[in-house]
């Protein structure tokens, strides 16, 4: 197998992983088609092999109880910045689903999402983590870090299940990683950006103000949540699939003690795991990047097989082109719910938005969607440029696409 093929396989596996980590329940019932794999890796790979960055385990973490589900050390991948970016930092929180009960967490601890034993020793840095100015114009020479995700509760839990030998230490992992990075020069940062996609996008929202608090007021600190706007939506059978799932995560992993008071003062802990109940209270500038028809939410929250026993949604769930008129109408209702959820948030000039009308999930870490010749755009502006304009205050960015099917720049995800 050639080096290029190995890299292609790695890159593909990583953005698939960001979409859905495990084959349990309906929270990961599909795989990307081979056609999709070839198409999406072509633009970022066959021109150039991406940077591969090694894994660093956090040696002092165990003493703080900051361990993965199976008790192994957590870790991160760091590529140092240089030149004008030497004192600027991107901290990216890895995504990859959640585990909501003992059974799924036991499964998870035997994978790279629950144990550093199974983590790759090197991963590709693409999209917002790329070190190439042509692929990542504003952040290519920053210090760029990906913190690995091995707790299963968006870096927010703190508890354990001794009988099942499970450690729920996401909050401690987050703190141990930040402390380690501070010792490696991040304490001198003049600019910092916390980012993440999917479960990592939710973690970015949860930890945004906390991240701001690690730096002096003179440091410019902002946050970017990609595909993290999980809505408290009703599924196609009028049930609460995602709420029930998140409730399991919150209760099992002891998330409540780490939730912000501004939310728990008036809402239950599960409601405070949904971004729509958090974003209005976040004081730090936040950019929300999300597709209006988020593929993960369509498949796992709105129309999972458990809510669709007769399979009416089966084809639509896998390929938007096979949705009926009434199914598209239903999905337009989901888009409206998303736009309503961000209404108050969008009124603040310090916040940014890029809500494009695509059937996709995670767009900042994939090169083809972040910044390439045929990247998705709103008003002729690619995602990388929109985020850069917002971060550096070059422009106010509140980009909301017209409803599907008006956008022909989308990189829709199609499944088989």
What positions carry a catalytic annotation? Answer: 198, 294, 361
Q: Which among 8, 9, 20, 12 has a CA at the least distance from the CA of 361?
A: 20
Instruction: Provide the b/e sequence for 358-389 (b: ≥16 CB within 10 Å).
Output: bbbbbbbbbbbbbbbeebbbbeebbbbbbbbb
DSSP-H helix ranges across 256-366: 261-264, 295-297, 314-318, 325-341, 343-346
Calpha distance 193→222 (Å, rounded): 5
Calpha distance 271→197 (Å, rounded): 20
Beta strands in 81-121 (DSSP E): 88-93
Could you report how far apart the first and last alpha carbons of the chain are, in Å? 25
> How many Cβ atoms are within 10 Å of 193's Cβ, its own excluded?
26
Kindly state the helix (H) or strand (E) to which residue 144 belongs, with its residue range. Answer: strand 143-147
- What is the residue whose two structure tokens read 């209404």? 343
> How many Cβ atoms are within 10 Å of 183's Cβ, its own excluded?
10
- What is the residue whose two structure tokens read 């990216």? 92
Report the Cα 270 to chain-centroid distance in Å: 19
Judge contact between 149 and 111, C-beta under 8 A. no
Q: What are phi and psi of 191, to 5 degrees?
A: -140, 140
């Amino acid at each position: 197998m050639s080096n290029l093929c190995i890299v292609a396989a790695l890159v593909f596996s990583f953005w698939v992983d960001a979409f859905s980590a495990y084959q349990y329940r309906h929270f990961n019932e599909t795989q990307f088609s081979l056609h999709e794999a070839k198409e999406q890796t072509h633009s970022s790979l066959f021109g150039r092999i991406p940077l591969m960055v090694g894994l660093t385990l956090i040696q002092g973490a165990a003493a703080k109880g900051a361990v993965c589900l199976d008790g192994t050390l957590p870790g991160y991948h760091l590529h140092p910045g240089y030149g004008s970016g030497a004192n600027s930092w991107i901290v990216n929180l890895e995504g990859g689903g959640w585990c909501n009960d003992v059974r799924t967490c036991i499964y998870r601890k035997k994978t790279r999402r629950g144990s550093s034993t199974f983590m790759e020793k090197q991963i590709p840095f693409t999209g917002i983590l790329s070190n190439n100015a042509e692929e990542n114009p504003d952040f290519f020479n920053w210090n760029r870090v990906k913190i690995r995700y091995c707790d299963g509760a968006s870096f927010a839990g703190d508890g354990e299940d001794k009988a099942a030998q499970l450690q729920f230490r996401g909050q401690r992992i987050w703190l141990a990683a930040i402390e380690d990075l501070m010792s490696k020069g991040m304490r001198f940062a003049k600019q910092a950006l916390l980012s993440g996609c999917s479960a990592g996008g939710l973690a970015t929202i949860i930890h945004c103000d906390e991240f701001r608090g690690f730096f002096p007021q003179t440091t410019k600190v902002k946050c970017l949540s990609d595909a993290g706007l999980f809505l408290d939506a009703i599924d196609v059978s009028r049930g609460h699939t995602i709420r029930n799932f998140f409730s399991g995560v919150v209760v099992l992993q002891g998330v409540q003690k780490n939730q912000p008071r501004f939310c728990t003062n008036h809402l239950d802990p599960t409601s405070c795991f949904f971004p729509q109940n958090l974003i209005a209270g976040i004081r730090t500038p936040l950019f929300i990047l999300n597709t209006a028809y988020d593929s993960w939410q369509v498949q796992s929250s709105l129309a999972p097989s458990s809510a669709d026993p007769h399979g009416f949604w089966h084809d639509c769930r896998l390929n938007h082109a096979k949705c009926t008129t009434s199914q598209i109408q239903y999905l337009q209702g989901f888009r409206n719910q998303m736009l309503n959820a961000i209404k108050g948030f969008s009124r603040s000039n310090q916040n940014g938005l890029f809500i494009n009308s695509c059937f996709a999930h995670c767009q900042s870490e994939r090169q083809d969607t972040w910044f390439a010749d045929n990247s998705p755009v709103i008003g002729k502006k690619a995602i990388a440029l929109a985020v850069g304009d917002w971060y550096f205050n070059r422009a106010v960015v509140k980009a909301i696409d017209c409803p599907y099917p008006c956008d022909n720049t989308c990189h829709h995800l199609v499944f088989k």
